[in-house]
Amino acid sequence: MGAEPTLRPDLEEIISYAHKGGHLTALHTNGLRFSEPGYLDKLVNAGLDEVHLQMDGFSGRFDMALRGRSMDKPREKALAELKRLDVATDLVAVIMRDGNEDEMGDILDYAAKNSFVKEIFTSACVCWAGRRRSLKRRASCRTN
């Protein structure tokens, strides 16, 4: 388990160090900081190779349940910045039964129309923990 890497003030230096060492640099993120002017540019200039972006859909219906806040505007800004800089991007979706299953079509369509999107990863298991426990929702897992 980890935390949001863009909260680190030294992320640019870490990426640069790894890049100079010949390593592939990939960032797993919610993309919220990508809306800050020049932030993603700095990471790319430091040697960022690819981004794995949290992407549970476009409608935002389940953002509060899954992420604790609305992600519509930050998601749009993050995608626009990634596209502008042509950063290889993987979309990472948590798919929740009786939740955002119907979002998959829009995610797949977006990926097909945007060449900077390289892959889509999905997780079809949600276990409510931490601050989300208060929602009193049971784990929702699907294996097919």
- Per-residue pLDDT for the chain (144 aa), expressed as one digit of tens each? 468 999 999 999 999 999 999 999 999 999 999 999 999 999 999 999 999 998 888 887 777 777 777 788 889 999 999 999 999 999 998 877 777 788 888 999 999 999 999 998 876 555 555 555 554 444 444 443
pLDDT of residue 50: 97
Q: Count the Cβ atoms, other than its own, within 10 Å of residue 34.
A: 24
pLDDT of residue 94: 81
Q: Which residues contact 144 (CB under 8 A, 6 or more apart)?
A: none
Q: How is domain 5-141 classified at the CATH fold level?
A: TIM Barrel (3.20.20)
Taking the domains of the chain in order of start, what are their residue ranges? 5-141
Beta strands in the chain (DSSP E): 26-29, 50-54, 88-94, 117-123, 125-126, 140-141
pLDDT of residue 139: 44
pLDDT of residue 18: 98
Q: Kindly give the pairing relationship between strand 125-126 and strand 140-141.
A: antiparallel
pLDDT of residue 73: 87
pLDDT of residue 124: 58
pLDDT of residue 69: 78
Q: Which of 64, 93, 91, 61 is nearest to 78 (CA)?
A: 91
Q: Which of 81, 83, 26, 32 is nearest to 54 (CA)?
A: 32
